[in-house]
């Protein structure tokens, strides 16, 4: 049988009313979205939820599940229902050994405020709230952006419907998209905890790419979508249909947001592609040279689905030149299905930003096997590969740790 836990969608046949209630109480146990190292031998797998699982990084065996205890400020207008929504993408807190994340405290009582908290992660078990603020409704946020001094949340109008959550116990059915509503930006000063709220055009995003401060403004790059429809279309009934799977839009668009705090203004722009890499701006599942995290940078790497804008399975690993010098490149092989890469810099960091290698698993559709590809990040040519002794299907995120073995 399938144990009743929360899933993003559901099972067939669906859980009965008692199983749905049990799933709500238990929360989620599907933590195979991302993996992080929070300290010495402290490796955790995580999802968009507060709970994490710690694992042995060598054997990959689960050690334990952890739901960190934390003090959430209460007020007469914030009687929280569940402290369970967080991010699968914590970010390093510059100048410290810690990470940053967030916690959404969802209120089940109609008319009462919910709350979002900026959180400092000290370990898988130890977390502390930096600051909190009240919101009318809780948005779904898979990731967020940060700089040396600020954290930027894109609260896209994709809101959690508490009534639907209680009724169905299926998160995917409990999210309401509002196409005509603006996207709210919460810009949080890490040291003081001050929160500035701004508005920008309607947009949906899953992943931020990088952010940095320059000349008194905050620059944030994201992989943007016009709506979250592509998430709902990634179902087996669509993916196994050769017509349907090529009809829905899966292409992201890299956007750069410029946030000016003094005037509280937000403007954004997109990037043109070149003939050498016509889908470079359609990247998602982004990665960068981590030496350039929170610094001005030029190169973003990622996965471009439907690269030819015809077939969903036409997948490329792309390199986007955000400095506009025409250095876009891409790597793809027909019927080879690449997933998220990780940038491993040259020892010592290298002389140039793109001195390093992209490492990623690739599913060879013709041989029905998988291999680990090593791509020179400068030339975007594969320089080596290693067969993997099992098939690795299309997955989401992974990381490289140079100090585990």
DSSP state letters, 314-340? --EEEEEETTSSS--EEE--TTEEE--
The answer to whether 397 is annotated as binding is: yes
Mean pLDDT per 10-residue section of the chain, whose length is 405 residues? 87 90 85 90 92 92 91 56 87 96 87 91 95 94 97 96 86 91 98 97 97 96 95 86 90 96 96 93 96 97 94 95 95 96 91 96 96 98 96 88 77
- Tens digits of per-residue pLDDT, 62-81? 999 999 988 766 554 445 56
To the question of whether residue 189 is assigned a binding role by annotation, the answer is no
Q: Return the pLDDT at 106.
A: 86
**Does 89 carry a binding-site annotation?**
yes
pLDDT given at position 311: 93
Q: Which two tokens stand for residue 296?
A: 């001005």
Distances (CA, A) of 49 to 29, 99, 190, 258: 9, 16, 22, 29
pTM: 0.94
Instruction: Report DSSP state, residue 14.
Output: P
Q: What are the pLDDT digits (tens) for 348-384?
A: 878 999 999 999 999 999 999 999 999 999 999 999 9
Say what the pLDDT of residue 286 is.
97
Give residue-wise pLDDT tens across range 132-188: 999 999 999 999 999 999 999 999 999 988 888 888 888 888 899 999 999 999 999
- Return phi, psi of residue 120, to 5°: -100, 125
Average pLDDT, the chain: 92
Is residue 100 a contact partner of residue 122, using CB atoms and an 8 Å limit? no
H helix count then E strand count, the chain:
4, 28
Q: Residue 73: what pLDDT?
A: 63
144-159 residues labelled b (16+ CB within 10 A) or e (exposed): bbbbeebbbbbbbbbb
Check if the beta carbon of residue 48 is closer than 8 Å to that of residue 90: no
336 assigned ligand-binding residue: no
pLDDT at res. 405? 62
What DSSP letter does each residue of 39-61 carry, written as one string?
A: ETTEEEEE-SBS-EEEE-TTT--
In the chain, what are the helix, strand and coil shares in percent, each to the nearest 5? 10, 40, 50
């Amino acid at each position: 049988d399938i144990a009743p836990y929360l899933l993003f969608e559901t099972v067939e046949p669906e859980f009965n009313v008692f199983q749905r209630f049990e799933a709500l109480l238990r929360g989620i146990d599907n933590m195979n979205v991302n993996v992080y190292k929070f300290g010495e031998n402290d490796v955790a797998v995580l999802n968009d939820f507060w709970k994490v699982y710690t694992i042995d990084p060598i054997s990959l065996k689960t050690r334990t599940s952890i739901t960190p205890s934390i003090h959430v400020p209460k007020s007469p207008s914030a009687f929280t229902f569940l402290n369970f929504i967080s991010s699968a993408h914590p970010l390093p807190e510059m100048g410290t050994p810690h990470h940053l994340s967030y916690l959404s405290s969802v209120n089940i009582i109609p008319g009462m405020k919910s709350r979002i908290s900026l959180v400092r992660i000290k370990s898988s078990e130890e977390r502390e709230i930096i600051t909190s603020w009240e919101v009318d409704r809780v948005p779904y946020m898979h990731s967020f952006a940060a700089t040396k001094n600020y954290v930027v949340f894109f609260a896209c109008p994709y809101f959690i419907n508490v009534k639907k959550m209680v009724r169905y116990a299926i998160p995917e059915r409990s999210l309401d998209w509002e196409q005509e509503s603006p996207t709210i930006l919460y810009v949080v000063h890490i040291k003081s905890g001050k929160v500035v709220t701004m508005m920008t055009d309607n947009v949906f995003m899953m992943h931020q790419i990088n952010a940095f401060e320059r000349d008194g403004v905050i620059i944030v790059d994201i992989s943007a979508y016009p709506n979250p429809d592509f998430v709902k279309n990634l179902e087996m009934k669509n993916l196994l249909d050769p017509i349907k799977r090529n009809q829905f839009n899966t292409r992201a668009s890299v956007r750069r947001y410029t946030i000016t705090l003094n005037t509280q203004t937000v403007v954004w722009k997109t990037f043109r592609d070149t003939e050498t890499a016509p889908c470079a701006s359609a990247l998602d599942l982004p990665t960068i040279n981590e030496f350039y995290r929170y610094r001005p940078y030029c190169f973003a790497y990622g996965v471009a689905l439907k690269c030819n804008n015809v077939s969903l399975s036409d997948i490329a690993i792309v390199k986007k030149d955000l400095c506009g010098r025409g250095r876009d490149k891409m790597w793809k092989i027909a019927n080879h299905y690449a997933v998220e890469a990780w940038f491993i810099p040259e020892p010592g960091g290298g002389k140039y930003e793109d001195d390093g290698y992209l490492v990623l698993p690739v599913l060879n559709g013709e041989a029905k096997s998988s291999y680990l590809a090593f791509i020179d990040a400068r030339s975007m040519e594969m320089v080596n590969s290693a067969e993997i002794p099992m098939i690795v299907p299309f997955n989401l995120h992974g990381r490289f740790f140079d100090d585990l073995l």
